[in-house]
Amino acid sequence: MRSPHEPGRRSGGFVAITGANGYIGSALVAAAVEKGCRVLALSRKPVSVPVGVWMAYDLRGAPPELPEDTQAVVHLAADVEGRERSEEEEVEAAKALASAAEKVGARFIFVSSLSASPKAPRRYGRVKWAIERELLPRGHVVVRPGLVYGGSRPGGLYAQLLQFLQKSPAYPWFFPPLMVRLIHVEELVEAILKLSVLPRAPLGLVPDIGGRTVEELAKVLRRPELVPRPGVYPLAGPPVAFSRVLQMMARYRLRRCLIPIPVPTGPFLAVLRLAGAFFPRLGDMERRLRSLRESGTASASCHTQLEVSLRDPVDGLHPSGSGRRRQLLLEGFFLLRYIFSTRPPVFFLRVYVRGVEEALGGKPLGKPWWVGPGWRLLPLLDLASRHLANLAPWRTRLEVALRVGECHPALFQHLVVTKARHRWAVTLEMLFALALEAFKRAAYLATRFCLALTNSRRVR
């Protein structure tokens, strides 16, 4: 048996993925193929893999015969509902798979859940916990994702919630809030891939560089991904109220506006539990909500360690997965509003978005502070972007907004004079505009002066 940490044989090997047909599995297969990995898809039903092969695999059956050059095995397959297999069967299957991976010297990555716990309300969490206990002593990697959402092929709980929201006219507004933690499927997949294919330094001291540990070395090199070492990797964003998640799903993914119905959390769960005695489905729902709530209070995430940046759920829930267009629309709205001092025609904003896409590559420049009520401070950006190189892209956006804006008849009216006016009235109006500008510039200079002052004090 070769050590999974043996360096030098990681490139180009297969990445075996169990449950390759599932929600996370299909996304992982696509991402791995895109990254240039050869994929060994393991599932009950065939999967077509552009670069790789499919092998039949069932949790009940024997572990598959892994190819010699398998570099990593990602274990995603699980009996979510717990109807077909016993807990022991699932644990045994995971153990057998891990042994198969160990045999060929591949890394083993087990995708668990934030709800994994010995006292988890659901069987799902308990099984995950049991498998974790078996794998961790053997030096394998465990990933614990939060509630997975997003992607073009919704699955799991995310798909069920979408299905519910698609039909329902309302959604529950729990109080006190029931907190959950989300992770976008693309982020999860990215993290798993990093754990499975990134070069991994052998554990222990690096003798050539003064006997530092690998962690120290990684810190010096600022490359945290150098140390994906065995252990538990929780992956989830900050806690969000579950009701807010439902509202965002409806609004940004389904484009539906639902009515919130206030629901007291504790009594509601109690009623569900009672009803669960008679209606198993309601009991299951109650356990689900409880396990969600528990995952919301789970430990911190390690996405920064893996250099995976988490997106805002509002962006992640957009069909594009990044909310790029929405950000561009918002940015265009406020830039035009600033330049023309009027609400721009919303339908026309698509011209701004397309213009930015065609001429500037279409990337939103992050989430600016002025999207929202802060747009009134845009003169600061207008001024600063003229002489600060790092704000130059915003200058270009302002230019695009102006050139696009003047092409709309209603906005063009703000650039021309249709009726003759008296010279002095015009002069007065212009003087007022100039005075306003002078005031704003003075405020800008004062702010800069104060900032410089506080900075110099801090230095002292």
Partner 1 sequence: MTAQVIVVGSGPAGVSAAWPLVKAGAKVLLVDGGTAVPLPQGEGSYFELRTDQQSHWRFFLGANFYALKQAGDVSPKLRVPGLAPTFAGFTDRFPVAVEDFKLFGSLARGGLSNAWGAGVAGFTQAELAALPVPYGEVRRGLQAVTKRIGVHGEVADDLGEFFGSGFHLQPPPPLELPAQVLLSRYQRQKKIFGAFVLGRGRNAVLTEPKGDRLPCNLCGLCLYGCSRKAIYNAAFDLEELEKHENFRYVPRVLVEELMRVGEEWEVRGRNLENRAPVALRAPAVVLACGAVGTGFLVLKALRLVGIPIRLLSSPVAAFALLIPNLLGCPTRQESFGLSQLAFKLSFDPKLYAFGNLFSTSGLPPSEFLLRSPLFLPTSRRLFRYFLPAMLVGNCFFPSVFSRHEMELCGDGSLRISGGYSAEFPAIARKTHKALRRAFFSCGAWLLPKSFRVAPPGSDIHYAGTVPLRSSPQPHEALPSGEVAGLPGVWVADAAALPELPAKPHTLLVMALADRVGREVARRLKAYAKGRIPND
Any contact of residue 391 with partner 1 (CB under 8 A)? no
Annotate 384-407 with b (16+ C-beta within 10 A) or e (fewer).
Answer: ebeeeeebeebbebbebbeebbee
Stretch that binds partner 1, among 19-27, 74-82, 174-182, 399-407 (CB under 8 A): 399-407
Residue in the block written with tokens 């830039």: 335
How far lies 252's CA from each of 148, 245, 248, in Å?
16, 10, 6
Write down the number of H helices and E strands in the chain. 16, 14
**Per rule CB under 8 A, is residue 419 in the interface with partner 1?**
yes
Give yes or no for residue 387 binding partner 1 (CB under 8 A).
Answer: no
**Binding flag, residue 308, partner 1 (CB under 8 A):** no
Question: Distance between CA 192 and CA 119 in Å, rounded?
Answer: 26
Whether the Cβ atoms of residue 394 and residue 365 lie closer than 8 Å to each other: yes
- Choose which of 170, 261, 415, 453 interacts with partner 1 (CB under 8 A): 415
Q: Does 88 bind partner 1 (CB under 8 A)?
A: no
Answer for the pair 26, 153: CB distance below 8 angstroms, yes or no.
yes
443 binds partner 1 (CB under 8 A): no
Handedness of CA 231, 236, 237, 238 (dihedral sign): negative
DSSP letter for 202, please.
P
- Start-to-end Cα distance in the chain: 61
Stretch that binds partner 1, among 139-147, 218-226, 416-424, 452-460 (CB under 8 A): 416-424
Please choose, out of 31-39, 261-269, 312-320, 395-403, the segment that lies near partner 1 by the rule CB under 8 A: 395-403
Residue type, 407: C
Binding partner 1 by CB under 8 A: which of 53, 232, 285, 351? 351
Residue type, 17: I
- Residue 339 makes contact with partner 1 by CB under 8 A: yes
> How far apart are CB 26 and partner 1 at their closest, in Å?
35
> Judged by CB under 8 A, does residue 459 bind partner 1?
no
Contact between 407 and partner 1 by CB under 8 A: the answer reads yes
Does residue 353 contact residue 328 with C-beta atoms inside 8 Å? yes
- Identified binder of partner 1 from the candidate list 301, 331, 382, 394, rule CB under 8 A: 382
Alpha-carbon distances of 85 from 56, 210, 211, 214, 283, rounded to whole Å = 17, 52, 49, 41, 20
Shortest distance in whole angstroms from residue 410 CB to partner 1: 9
Taking CB under 8 A as the criterion, the residue among 412, 452, 453, 454 binding partner 1 is 412
Residue 427 interacts with partner 1 (CB under 8 A)? yes
Minimum CB distance to partner 1 smaller for 133 or for 414: 414
φ/ψ of residue 258, rounded to 5? -105, 160
How far apart (Å, rounded) are the C-alpha atoms in residues 27 and 35? 12
Pick the closer one to partner 1 by CB: 57 or 340.
Answer: 340
The neighbouring-strand residues paired with 206 are: 212
User: Which among 134-142, 165-173, 264-272, 333-341 is the span making contact with partner 1, rule CB under 8 A?
Assistant: 333-341
- Residue ranges in contact with partner 1 by CB under 8 A: 338-341, 348, 351, 354-355, 358-360, 379, 382-383, 396, 398-400, 402-404, 406-409, 412-423, 425-427, 429-430, 433-434, 436-437, 440
